[in-house]
Every structure is written in structure tokens, then in C-alpha cells.
Structure 1
């Protein structure tokens, strides 16, 4: 009985009808998203044999999030988030359909990939921040919010486990085009789930402040409060130094492990399995007590796993190390997300979560371009080892400065009236969320 209760507690956010619809629709769509990502990476490397262009495609798909993310947060705080998501998901479907048509007809060129990746990146700049802020509207009970965030991570990484594996097999059998077409079709599921939701009537908050002033207020709020600033900086460093490993994986699959598209799928699947395990680990937690220690440990695990992977020439060992890297990466990211969602004021949620999205999606293209350029000079092995080392080292100042935030967090959560369990957890975890560097 205890195990049944624990299992039901792990999925307690699914008791909210709107979140349940979102969970199913998004799960189907994310499998397609991962299939397209693998297909696109393999297509670019097959067409160009260039590590630099692999990084350039990732840069073009993610740099718009860095530029537009903060403005997207203002939009998410001002407009109906549900309608914004309907628009962004429909546009994403259009992008995938166009890309699939070009690949299947044999007319695809690298400039098409770069242009369509930039278009999708622009859409995602608005979609990700809005979706992060929309979670609180779908969950009926505020105490289930942290569980919903953990389940989102579980969903994302279940798709990362399934999608690349299917994509690797399909690419080897029929080519990249079918994977991208499946992604286009999969958007029907998430659009249907959004249309079936029953939401409270949207009430526009009348704000006299202009967009630029709202943007400055969001920056001042987020970076003026050390606990929020610390979490955003951690995510930015992990994204800058750690995320480029996904860009370099096609090179490891083909040139170091001497495999094909299926090998790339296995590597991504192993990383996804580790990340799924990490997300489920977070989902079964009843509070945020100790998340600061978890962030330090998992950041180190991620960095060390990347260093070891960079020197591995055996597929089995590489798969095991990908599992650890996936676990470390997602637990760190999701823990930061959970703490941010519980720390932030509702009227600034969109802007703060857009900064989180900017740190997550916006720093990755810079890291990808740097990693691609360095890999051309010194090789992918040493490049990835350096990335792992930087991830591991970057968490040290965060750990050293951890005692500073207890005094800051405690009175704020007392004033906001957060439930005791969560308040206690944040007071404990806040010891570990000091910024990596004083800015």
C-alpha cells in the first residue's frame, strides 16, 4: 500500500484535468520534436561533413531565444498565455511541414536548414517562456506545482528516450524526411489538448508601464534578488558549457565509435533514459528540502560524465556515461526551475521564467558555436573534455557561497504564506543557492 501511495504521489499533478490534457498532447509532440532534432543533425553532418555547421545550425535555432526571451516574458505577463501557445504551436507545425517537404523532395540545402532553424528559434523564444509560466494555470492545487515541473521534465526526457531511438532506425531505413514529417503531424496532438482545456476567463491586467519599463522591472526583480539570480546563473553556465555535447554527438557516433544514425539514436536515447530517471527522482520528492545539495552533486556528475565520455571509444561505456550525463543535466535544470517557480511572485512569473528560458536556450547556441569552432582546431574529444571540466568547476563558487541566502529567503516566504513544507525546504535549500560569482 505504501508503494501504491508513493506512486500516486509521484503523479499527483495529473489529477488536474487541464494539466493531464497538456501532458498527453505534449508527450506525443515531443517525441516528434526529438525525432526531427536527430534527423536534422544527421542530415547536416551528412551534407556538409562540418562540425562548425552543426554548431551553426544549433546557433541559428537557439539564438533568437537569447534575443527575444525577455520580451517574450513581458508578453506572457500581459496577454492570454493559452492563445499565445496555440499560435506558437501552429507556427511550429508550419515550420516542420515546410522542412519535411524540402527534404522529401530532395531540394533541401544548408541555407534552408539555417533559415528554418532561425524561424523555429524565433517561435520558441515566445513559446518556451509562455509555456513555463502557463504551468501554474493548468495545475489546480499550488502544492502540486513542483510535481508538475518534475513531470514536465519526465515527459521531455521520456520523449528524448523514445524519439531518437525511433529516428535512428528510420533514418537508416528510409532517410531523414519521414522523421521530420512525423514531427509535423505530431503537433496536432498538442493543439487538440490546448483546445480541449477548460480555463478561467482571461482577465487582462491593466498596466500603465510600457514594455521597456516592464522589461526593466523584470530584470531588476530577478537579478536584484540573489536567490533568483543564483539559479539563473547556474542554468546559464550549464547551458553554455554543457549543452554543446548534443551538437558534437553525431561526430562521436560516426567518427569515434564508427557507427551510423542508429548509434546516434542510441547515445541520445541513453542520455534520455538517464534524464528520465532523474526527472522521476525529482517527481517522487514531496518537498524541495535539500535541492541545493542535489544541484551541486548533479552538476559535478554531469561534468565528470562528459569528461569520461570524451575519452571513451567503446559503445557500451559511452552509453553508460551518457546515462549519467543525462541524469546530472536534467536534475540540475529541473531543480533550478522548481525553486524559481516557488520563489517568484505571480505578477512577474512570465518575465522571470523568460530569463530562465533565455539562460537555458539562449546560452546554448553561443556554447555550440564556440564548441564547434574549437573542435575544428583541437578535435571533439578535447573540446568535450574541456566543456565537462568547466561545468564541474563552475559549481564550486556556488557551493562556497551557499550560506548567504537563508536570511534572505526566510522572511520572504513567511510574508508570502507559502505552505510550511515548501517554505522549510526553500529555507534549507536556499543555503545552497548563492550566485557562482558576485555581480
Structure 2
């Protein structure tokens, strides 16, 4: 089997991945339909931002608790429960839209309830992967999960756009699409039932003492590398990755397109996202340099996309946006899963998801307001610039903590090196080795002994 797909040789993961792909298609169908429903009911970009914010708000409020639940209880059982927690709000919203009685406040409430299910599902799902495939194939499985997610992004929006257009582009049309997503959660539930439990490798449950959530936060604070990863993900997720809203605004307000053209934009972006996920699946060891570099590439492309003059040129840039975004997200997720201790994996995964998704309740309404006041293009331009400032600030903080600084080298070819302020002291610290491996080249003498992977932290 190709190294890109080696995790599929594991029976349990193969079954789980097939169910997840069906659900991912349904999820992306609902995202397009829900955004179109809000626009049909209100015609307001701010309302669209509020809906997105409410759906992601539970990730901010509940992720620490959800991570602790993932560390304490069997993840397979948690995932069975969360499928119902997401299916029920989707079914209710679909029925309300089909019957023609849906109102904006219905969408707000149900989006929040759907987000509660997602908040508990995500950390359990992220940390369940290693129990199916083991650490040796974890990075590959994380990449394939992202590929599945973005295959859904490529298929779902296109199918949703065609269905909505074929059914009249109204409120009722969006309801049928949302109802199909509710049904898709049964695919994941059935795949979980079909898993061979004896082949799973569950981690030791976390202790039930008080302060377990605070212990997870302290663990992250003690790791400057994790602070760098989480801060980078926060700024890109909060101010940059509001794709559903920004694409909807660009399609309708700037280019004057309809539901089908909007759905096509999501599928086009997913082509780049899928490519990024498959490339990441081949990497055995994700690095911080990759996370930071991909984040900075993303913000450059995002600003450029806001300047595109036509629908065609905007669409042509989107694969690069998807490629850089998914490279960053997949590398960050795999890095966390591979480097944290097993007893902390659920809580750190939850904190990762909290900063990645939980910042959107604040960022999405702001981006929506910018779209209404200054125009749709500025949602991309300003969002990218703010994310760039955040990433550069986080990198500077990390280098300061690691005792490193940047140096411009013009002797052979123009390049920026990461060098220690005190070479001898830096060469003896774990952070110096991390900076050497993950951010740049450390041009100092060979240290007496380099710690191996098992001795780190």
C-alpha cells in the first residue's frame, strides 16, 4: 500500500474512516445550506457572523471540560453519544425549514446546540485516532482524516449548491439539505459499532482528582512549543479561516453570484485543502517550522484573494488558500498528538480546538461587521493582516523563551537563520534543539551530546 494511505491497512481505522467520510460530506452540505438559510431569512452579513459565532461558542466554553471527559471515559462511547447530540439539532432545523416556519432565532439556538455536540465530539475524535492506529501511523492517520474532511468539503458544498438551486433557492430547499446531514451521522455511529474493540489501544484514563482541567492548562504553559502552535492556530482560525462567511459575501456582494456559484467556491478551495492533507499524510514528523511557515503563507494568500478582480481569479486563488490552511492545521494537530503525554492528550486536544474554533465567536461577528461597513473584500484583507501580526508576535515570543534570535545571512545566498544568543548554553537546552529542528538552522559547533527523542521533556 502507498505510504500516503498506510493507515487504511488497519481494519478499525478503515471502517471508521468510511463512516467519517459520509458524515463529512453531510456536514459541509449543512454548512452551505445553513449560511444560505440565514441570508434568505435576514439578508444580513452580521446575522451570518452571529450564527457562525454561536455554533462555535461552545468550543470556547466547554472544550476544557470536554477534553477532560475524553481523557476519563472510553472515547468510542463518547463518540456514539455525540453523534446523536449533533444529529438531533440538525434534524430539527431541517424540519423547521422544510415546513416554512424557520426564523432567525431558531437558527441561532439550534446552531448553539449543534455546537455543544461538536465541542464534546472533537477532542474525543482527535484523541481516538491513536487508539486505532498507534503512534507509528498517527501522523499519517491525522493527514488522512484531514483528507476525508476536505473530500467532504469538496463534495458537500457542490452537492448542496446544486440541490438548493434545483429546489428553488429558498428556505425550504435549505431544509432538505440540512436534513440529509442529520441522517449522515448514522454512518459514523454504525462504523463505531462495527469496530473490533479488542484491537483498540486505549490510553490510561486520567485521574479523578480535583484540578484536572487546570493541570492541562499548566502543562501547556510549561511547553513554549505548544504555546507557539496554539497561538498561531488561534490567530489564523479566529481572523483568517472564516471561509463560509467570506466566500458567501464575496460570491453575493462582490461578484453577484447565486447559491450554486457559492457552493462551487467551497469545492474549489477543497481541492487545495485535499492536496495539503495528502502531502501531510506522507510526513512522519510534523515540525513547528512547517506550522508557522504554512500560517504565514496562508495570510499572504488570503490578502491576495481579497484583491482579486473577478470571480474566476478569486476562484483560482482558493486552492492555494486551502493548501496552506490545511498544511498548517494538519501539522499542528499531528504535532500535538505525537508530543503530548497520553494522559494529557484529550485535554491538550481540547485546548487546541478551543483556540482554533473558540476564537471564531469573537472573530466571526467582527469579520461580518467589517463586511457590512467596509465591504466583503476587507473581510479577507484585514483578517489576513491581523493573523500575520499574531503569528509573528508568537514566533518572536517563542524565540525569546528559547534564547534564540533571527540573523540575516548574505554570504552565500539570502536567508534568515535562527541562532542562539549564547551558543554554548543554547546547545545544551531542549528548546535549542527544537529551534534547530523546527524553525531554522542553528549554525554553531557540534554539541557534545544531543538528547534522543525519548529523553525530551
Answer yes or no: same fold by TM over 0.5.
Answer: yes
How far apart are 1:311 and its partner, in Å? 2.3
Distance (whole Å) between structure 2 residues aligned to residue 271 and residue 426 of structure 1: 32
Residues 1:316 and 2:317 aligned together? no
Matching residue within 34, 43, 54 for 1:60? 54
SS at match of 1:259: coil
Matching residue within 136, 144, 154 for 1:161? 154
- What is the number of equivalent residue pairs in this alignment? 411
Instruction: Show the counterpart of 2:259.
Output: 261
Matching residue within 336, 339, 346 for 2:342? 346
Distance (whole Å) between structure 2 residues aligned to residue 43 and residue 409 of structure 1: 57
Instruction: Show the counterpart of 1:436.
Output: none
Indicate conservation of the 8 Å contact 2:31/2:244, yes or no: no
Residues 1:218 and 2:216 aligned together? yes
Indicate conservation of the 8 Å contact 2:289/2:440, yes or no: no
Instruction: Show the counterpart of 1:103.
Output: 97
Distance (whole Å) between structure 2 residues aligned to residue 143 and residue 431 of structure 1: 26
Distance (whole Å) between structure 2 residues aligned to residue 408 and residue 277 of structure 1: 37
Distance (whole Å) between structure 2 residues aligned to residue 355 and residue 394 of structure 1: 18
Structure showing greater Rg: 2
Cα deviations by residue, 1:341-392 (Å, 9 ceiling, x for unpaired): 1110001111100000101110122110111122222222123211112223
Q: Indicate how the Cα distance of structure 1 residues 74 and 60 shifts in structure 2: closer, same or farther if over 3 A, else same.
A: same
Matching residue within 438, 441, 444 for 1:429? 438
Instruction: Show the counterpart of 1:136.
Output: 130
Residues 1:122 and 2:131 aligned together? no
Matching residue within 47, 68, 71 for 1:74? 68
Distance (whole Å) between structure 2 residues aligned to residue 103 and residue 252 of structure 1: 25
Distance (whole Å) between structure 2 residues aligned to residue 367 and residue 214 of structure 1: 29
Q: Whose helix proportion is higher, 1 or 2?
A: 1
Alignment of 1:299-314 (within 5 A): 299-314=295-310
Q: Indicate how the Cα distance of structure 1 residues 331 and 30 shifts in structure 2: closer, same or farther if over 3 A, else same.
A: same
Residues 1:293 and 2:286 aligned together? no
TM-score calculated relative to the size of structure 1: 0.88
Q: Indicate how the Cα distance of structure 1 residues 173 and 397 shifts in structure 2: closer, same or farther if over 3 A, else same.
A: same
Instruction: Show the counterpart of 1:337.
Output: 333
Instruction: Show the counterpart of 1:188.
Output: 186
Distance (whole Å) between structure 2 residues aligned to residue 299 and residue 379 of structure 1: 24
Residues 1:171 and 2:164 aligned together? yes
Distance (whole Å) between structure 2 residues aligned to residue 412 and residue 84 of structure 1: 36
Alignment of 1:359-398 (within 5 A): 359-398=355-394
Unpaired runs of 5+ in structure 1? 414-423, 433-439
Unpaired runs of 5+ in structure 2? 168-172, 405-424, 442-457
TM-score calculated relative to the size of structure 2: 0.85
Distance (whole Å) between structure 1 residues aligned to residue 435 and residue 21 of structure 2: 30
Residues 1:150 and 2:143 aligned together? yes
Residues 1:209 and 2:209 aligned together? yes
Matching residue within 324, 327, 333 for 1:328? 324
- Cα RMSD, aligned residues only: 2.4
Q: Indicate how the Cα distance of structure 1 residues 410 and 168 shifts in structure 2: closer, same or farther if over 3 A, else same.
A: farther
Matching residue within 241, 244, 248 for 2:242? 244
Indicate conservation of the 8 Å contact 2:229/2:332, yes or no: yes
